[in-house]
Amino acid sequence: MKKLFTILAFAVSAITFAQQDSIRSQYYFNTANPTLKDTILKSKGLSPSLSNQTSLVNTSANTSVNAATINSLNANFKNENDAYTIEGSNSPYEWKWVRDGIWTGAALGASYFGLTLIQDKDDLPESERAAFLNEASLQEKIDNINFLDRWVAGKHSENANSISDIPFAISFAAPFALLFDDEINDHTGQYIGMYIQSLATTASIYTITAGLVNRSRPYVYDNSGDTSEDRRFKNNGQRSFYSGHVAATATATFFAAKVYSDYNPDANGKVFVWAGAAALPAAVGVFRMEAGQHFLTDVLLGYALGGVTGILIPEMHKKKNDNIDIYPSSGTTFLGDPYRGMALSYRF
């Protein structure tokens, strides 16, 4: 619970600071234009006061500038303001309240249902515990694990378990750092909505899967005495499949990388953003395995599902190109043969 409150506090702070920074930027731009107009007027040998006093132009016989010139200058600066506003408010995404509200609500509801399944999971049956307490039968169980996961069986580092929470928490906060980008900050509500939708989708898939599938965690195979029998055989020990930590981390980081790339398609630093997005969930996965919480296949599946969700949700919200149309088509060829198919049209 403390971790959750820390993440939420950071998120609120990031949103507030980013919005204040955007307001300051807009104020600077709007107040800089009159100074720029005065500079241009002075370069033409005119008085800056003429920009707002066109009546002086009509009454003064000594000036060579008429009202049309001043109005033209004002119009140019107005167009620059308008262009800045349009560019600053342009988003590659669209948010439909009915569709996305239903989707997000359903995902949150499914997540809650999955949590109830997890809470109601049974402990490891008494009949199966003896096999984990006997060295020979335990080794046989380990030998029956697939070669990708076998080397993880028995790991139980408490230190690694604690460390894994650090990149896990950072990943949740990382998308909020993008609010310092003015382009994204202009659409904070839309951006946060997509982020919540992405996390809710990942949470719903994970919790229901973890609630329905029983797979012993690697630390259940630890018979060294470092891990208590109570911890090994509790229901929490049967939630190895799959890694929710890695899935959530991958969703957050790949979501941030995808949105940043869509808002800044020509940015030179995109490769570093994507590299960071890939590295953070991988680090979480390594520590989760060392902690004996998950096997390698659990981590790989969580990584894949989380990454796909983080990329796919923003992609599904991208605005459609109205110039492209795909539709079914049928008719007769010039040889008289009937045909049916799909047609693609592009309007220039």
Q: Residue range 165-174: average pLDDT?
A: 93
- CA–CA dist 53, 5 (Å, integer): 56
Q: Residue 21 pLDDT > 70, yes or no?
A: no
pLDDT in tens, 71-93: 554 555 444 444 333 344 588 99
Give the least confident one: 30-34, 106-110, 128-132: 30-34
Domain boundaries, the chain: 2-88, 97-316
Instruction: Write the CA distances from 125 to 50, 69, 87, 131, 143, integer angstroms.
Output: 89, 89, 62, 11, 21
Q: Residue 225 pLDDT > 70, yes or no?
A: yes
Q: Which residues contact 85 (CB under 8 A, 6 or more apart)?
A: none
pLDDT in tens, 36-59: 445 544 554 555 544 444 443 344
